[in-house]
Structure 1
Amino acid sequence: MTEPIRGQTFRHEDWYGDELADREYVDCQFFDVDLTESVTRQVSFTNCAFGNVRFNASRHTDSAFLRCTFRRCNFFEAEFSGCKLVGSGFEQSTLRPLTVLGGDWSFVGLPGADLRGVTIRGVRMREADLTGANCSDALLVDVDLSGAQLHSARFTGCDLRGSDLSALDPTVVERTGAIIDAGQAVVLAQALGFEVG
């Protein structure tokens, strides 16, 4: 990997369809940058701020966005595979349809996010903030949600099979039609105070 790019501000850049690989950005700011259909491989962003950035149809593989902030960004049809977004936060961003396959999204802030119909598989989301998030009709399969903040989240019609639901209080979420497996049913029954015999 080349020397890190530190403290730079990128404004009104056109990176449409660009392929970025083996780069590192630290404490950088990106405003009104077009990353539509761009591809990143093993690119690292640490403590970076993204404002009005278009990630539409972009593909990210084994890249990292650590402690980054995304404000008013668009992730329409974006895909993240094996990426780390630990400690990053999303505000007023369009996150659907979005696909996340593997990786670590622990401590990610998604309060109130519209995640209807997104696909998230095999992702670590420990202690993520999904307070009030709308996960209706989403696939949250084999996701580690241990310690996650899920109060007032909507899981109507959501496929939650294989996910860690130990932090889920069934009484404070919308759950009509949510799909779980037998092991998860036992966990939720115990959370409601039932003895499973």
Structure 2
Amino acid sequence: MEDYFEEQVFNGVNFTEQRLDKGEYNLCRFVNCSFSGVDLSYLVFSECVFENCDLSNARMNSSSWKEVQFNECKLLGLIFSDCNPFLIAMNFRGCQLNFSSFYQLNLKGSKFEQCSLHEVDFTETNLTGASFYQSDLSGAIFENTILEKSDFRSAQNYALDPELNKLKKAKFSMPEVVGLLHKLDIHIS
């Protein structure tokens, strides 16, 4: 039998040393916690908030993330594509997501605000209406990605191939919009 936790606050817990109980976490807050390398497989997080937590290299097989907010978290090398895709909904503010993968996930309307998204894999991800407010997308991979109505106006260092991605009504601004011409290997001055 799995445990059920509701409206609990976990503050400063090092889950690399203390076991995280298997079960469902609803409306919980995790503050200054370490999950680095921890196995989060099959856990359910619904309407939870993670603040200043380190989840780098955590295992996420079939874990569920429903309406979860990550603030100022370190989320390096996470394979979000291993998560349960049913009702997945996540938003990120001030997070480091470098080397993570969102391959084939449906993340409509997700917000990536002031995030570091270096080398993140968004291949075949549905990011319709997503926002990349002041985020750094150096080396991020967009291939067969749905980016319709997405907002890149204040994003930096992205390179998108308009022929390989759906960009209808996506928003861009100068000078970063030249990232759409990256594949042409031309210089604009």
Is the pair's TM-score, using the shorter chain for normalization, greater than 0.5?
yes
TM-score (normalised: structure 2): 0.87
What aligned pairs does 1:75-154 form with structure 2 within 5 A after superposition?
A: 75-90=65-80, 91=82, 92-94=84-86, 96-154=88-146
> How big is the shift at 1:109?
1.5
Query: Structure 1 residues 194, 20: closer, same or farther in 2, change over 3 A?
Result: same
Contact kept in structure 2, 1:27 and 1:47, CA below 8 Å = no
Find the aligned partners of 2:33 and 2:137 in 1 and give their Cα distance: 26
CA distance 1:95–1:131, shift in 2 (3 Å): farther
Correspondences of 1:1-197 after superposition (within 5 Å):
12-26=2-16, 33-90=23-80, 91=82, 92-94=84-86, 96-189=88-181, 191-192=183-184, 196=188
Deviation at 1:32, TM superposition (A): 5.0
Describe the shift of the 1:39–1:141 C-alpha distance in structure 2 as closer, same or farther (beyond 3 A).
same
Q: Percent same amino acid at aligned positions?
A: 19
Residues 42-92 of structure 1: CA deviation (Å, up to 9, x unaligned):
001011222232211101110110101223333222111101110111223
* Secondary structure, aligned partner of 1:185: helix
Q: 1:135-184 deviations in whole A, cap 9, x for unaligned?
A: 01111222211111211111011111221243322221111111011112
5+ residue gaps, structure 1:
1-10
Name the CA distance, whole Å, in 1 between partners of 2:144 and 2:186.
22
